[in-house]
Each structure stands twice: as C-alpha cells, then as structure tokens.
Amino acid sequence: MIALLLRDLRLSVRAGGGFGLGLAFFLIVSVLVPFGVGPEAEILARIAPGILWVGALLACLLSLDRIFQLDFEDGSLDLLATAPVPMEGAVVMKALAHWLVTGLPLTLAAPLFGGLMSMAAPGHWWMFVTLLLGTPALSMIGAFGAALTVGLKRGGLLLSLLVLPLYVPTLIFGAEAATRGMAGLDATTPLLMVAGITAGSVALLPFAAAAALRINLR
C-alpha cells in the first residue's frame, strides 16, 4: 500500500500538469475575485473565507478524474483489483495521494492567498485549520465520484455534477467555521462537524468507492 502511494505521488509529480495546476488555479481564483468584486478591503475581507473555500473546492475538483482514469485506461486498475491489497485500501491510498498533491498544498497556500484578500491576522490561522480538517473529505468524496464515472468516455462534466452536491455540507461547515473564527465567535461546533464529515468519509466512502470500481471493472 505504501508502494502504491509512492507510485501515485511519483506519477503526479513527474507526469506534469497535475501537481502545480490545482495550486495555480487556486491563485488565479484569488486574483480574479477582487477584479470582479472591487478592491475595497472590507468587502474582500468579509467574503475571503467563502471565496477561498469555494476556490479550494474547485481546484480539488479539477484533478479528480486523474485519480482512476489513467490507471483504468492502461489496465493497471485491473491489476490492482486482482492484487492481494484489498480494493478499499487501494482507494484510500489513491485518495491520500490526491490529497497530498492538491489538498495539502492548497491548505498551506490558503493563508498566503488570504493576504491577497486583505484577510486580518487570525483569519490566516482559521483558514489553515478548517482547510486542513476539510480537504481530506473533499479528496475522499472526489475519489468516490471518480470511481463512479471511471468507465465513461467523457465523464468530466458528469463528475462535477455528481461530486459538487456531495461537497455541500463540507463547504458549509468549513466556511462557517472560518468565518466565525475570524469574527472571534465560538467556532467549535462547525469545526467538529467538518472533522466529523472527514472522519466519516474516510471510514465509510472507501467501501462505496471500491464497490463502484468493482462494478466498473466487471
């Protein structure tokens, strides 16, 4: 399983077009929003957590189809299915690899990009914490969506239609926790909910995703 993780990480770094792309997309979103909304610092600071969360979500979505698609096309997914590693474990490793190359960089970059949106000092910390707790759920839910659509020729648009509604609770609680934290309110409840969604997704969704992969490989 570790070997699978390292393989996926190596592939995403060396194959190009995967690793930095999500981050660059995230940066562009953070630059474009002030162009659209206007440069007033108060407005930007108020909408910053929401924009950063939506930006992270979309950046995550961009690279989802890579999780299984290439392996499905060249047949390595069939090998994985017959390997002694259970399919569920392979799914978790794939989602973890996806998180390491998209979710984690986004989390680390979010405080920096928050500066572009005139975010005040404690806000950086809150963005970092909420994204750290929330992005694993995004990767895991995304892996489930990617497993559903892996057999399809042009699954990209369908994938976003399937996955984005599933992202709703994570987005709501994540952005709410960041907003409350920034305003100095008590953010325990939404923070715990985000952590709960992540834990629940990581615990249960691998089974659903593995079931979907088995159906697609039949």
Partner 1 sequence: MESTRTKQAKDRWNWLWEWANPVKFMALSGKALPWVIGLTVISLTVGLVWGFFFTPEAINFGSSVKIIYVHVPSAMMAINIWVMMLVASLIWLVRRHHVSALAAKAAALVGVVMTVIALITGAIWGEPMWGTYWAWDPRLTSFLVLFLFYLGYMALWAAIEDPDTAADLTSVLAIVGSVFALLSRYAVNFWNQGLHQGASLSLDKEENVADVYWQPLVICLAGFVLLFIALLLVRTRTEVRKRRIHALEMRERMADA
Report in angstroms how near the CB of residue 23 gets to partner 1 at its nearest: 27
Residue (of 80, 82, 104, 103) closest to 3 by Cα position: 80
Task: Report the interhelical angle of 156-182 vs 41-62 (nearest 10°).
Answer: 140
Residue 202 is a binding residue for partner 1 (CB under 8 A): no
- Output 139 or 149, the one with its CB closest to partner 1: 149
Residue 197 is a binding residue for partner 1 (CB under 8 A): yes
Tokens of 98: 């996806």
**Scanning the structure block, which residue is given the tokens 């399937």?**
162
Which residue in 9, 151, 183, 202 binds partner 1 (CB under 8 A)? 151
Tokens of 2: 């570790």
Residue (of 28, 68, 46, 35) closest to 156 by Cα position: 68
Report in angstroms how near the CB of residue 114 gets to partner 1 at its nearest: 21
Q: How far is CA 215 from the centre of its chain?
A: 24
Report in angstroms how near the CB of residue 155 gets to partner 1 at its nearest: 7
Report in angstroms how near the CB of residue 164 gets to partner 1 at its nearest: 7
Which residue in 21, 45, 125, 216 binds partner 1 (CB under 8 A)? 216
Residue 25 is a binding residue for partner 1 (CB under 8 A): no
SS3 18: coil
Half-sphere exposure at residue 43, Cβ-oriented, CA atoms within 13 angstroms = 8
Report in angstroms how near the CB of residue 216 gets to partner 1 at its nearest: 7
State the residues that interact with partner 1 by CB under 8 A.
141, 144, 148-149, 151-152, 155, 158, 161-162, 164-166, 168-169, 172-173, 176, 189-190, 193, 197, 205, 208, 211-212, 215-216, 218
